[in-house]
């Protein structure tokens, strides 16, 4: 296994939405609903979420699955419009609710928020604070996530 010390680790996944981004990983301990869980500036406000108070804006957001309401689509699109969206989304399962938010923002605002599906074990190797570069081709082609140590 690579990724120890300063060696970068490169993970291969499946592109759910194309785009390219660099940022710092925020690995969520529990699923997050954007609707009702994130404020207009991208701060986690869900009272039950262990990472309440963290911001998703500009982060490479890693979570096993999304949670809850289909209104999360509109909330993600609104975060992209206002510049408070994550830089990239890394998921263990395809979540159409979030994919649609990225597709609509691409149509209306020309943004390219990469969304990548990784194997659950690979996703777990990404730790909060790590820097990551995400490259996702047009779905369902390949995607890569290259992470360096903290």
Partner 1 sequence: MPGDDALVLTAEEQSMLAGEQGPATAMCMRLIVGVARANGAERLVPIESAHADGCLYHGVAGLEFTERLVSLGARVRVRTTLNVGSLDLLHPGLVRADPEVAENGRRLMDAHVALGCEPIWSCAPYQSGHRPAEGSHVAWAESNAIAFVNSVLGARTDRYGDFIDIAAGVAGRVPYSGLHLTRNRAAALVLDFSAVPAALLDDDVAWPAIGALLGELAGTRVAALTGLPGDLNDGGVTEDRVKALGATAASAGGVALFHIVGMTPEAPTLAAVLGPAATTVPVTAHDLRRARERLSTAATKSLDAVSLGTPHFSLSEFAALARELRDGPSFSSSIDVFVSTSRAVLAEAEARGYADTVRDAGGRILTDTCTYVTQVLRDGIRTVMTNSGKWAWYAPANLGIDTVLGSLAECVASARAGRVVRDERLWG
Contact 76, 94 (CB under 8 A): no
Let me know if 54 is exposed, middle or buried by CB neighbors in 10 A (0-12, 13-18, 19+).
middle
Region of 3-11, 20-28, 69-77, 123-131 interacting with partner 1 (CB under 8 A):
69-77
**Binding to partner 1 in span 8-47, by CB under 8 A:** 12-17, 35-36, 40, 47
CA 127 to chain centre: 13
CA angle (147, 96, 41) in 5-degree steps:
65
What character string, x for contact with partner 1 (CB under 8 A) and - otherwise, covers 115-144?
x-----------------------xxxxx-
Member of 104, 128, 131, 148 binding partner 1 (CB under 8 A): 104
Q: Which residues pair with 81 in a beta bridge?
A: none
CA distances from 34 to 38, 66, 70, 97, 99 (A): 5, 8, 9, 10, 13
The residue annotated as part of the active site, out of 2, 15, 33, 69, is 69
Of 34 and 132, which has the nearer Cβ to partner 1?
A: 34
**Catalytic center residues:** 69
Which residues of the chain form contacts with partner 1 (CB under 8 A)?
12-17, 35-36, 40, 47, 68-75, 77-78, 80-82, 94, 96-97, 99-101, 103-105, 107-109, 115, 139-143
């Amino acid at each position: 296994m690579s990724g120890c010390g300063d060696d970068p680790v490169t993970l291969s996944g499946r592109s759910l939405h194309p785009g390219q981004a660099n940022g710092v990983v925020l690995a969520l301990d529990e699923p997050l609903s954007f609707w009702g869980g994130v404020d207009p500036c991208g701060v986690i406000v869900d009272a039950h979420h262990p990472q309440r108070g963290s911001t998703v804006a500009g982060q490479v957001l890693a979570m096993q699955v999304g949670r809850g309401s289909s209104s999360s689509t509109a909330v993600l699109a609104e975060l992209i419009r206002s510049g408070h969206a994550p830089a990239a989304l890394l998921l263990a399962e395809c979540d159409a609710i979030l994919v649609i938010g990225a597709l609509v923002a691409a149509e209306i605002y020309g943004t390219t928020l990469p969304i990548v599906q990784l194997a659950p074990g690979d996703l777990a190797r990404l730790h909060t604070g790590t820097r990551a570069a995400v490259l996702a081709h047009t779905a369902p082609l390949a995607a890569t996530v290259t992470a360096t140590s903290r």
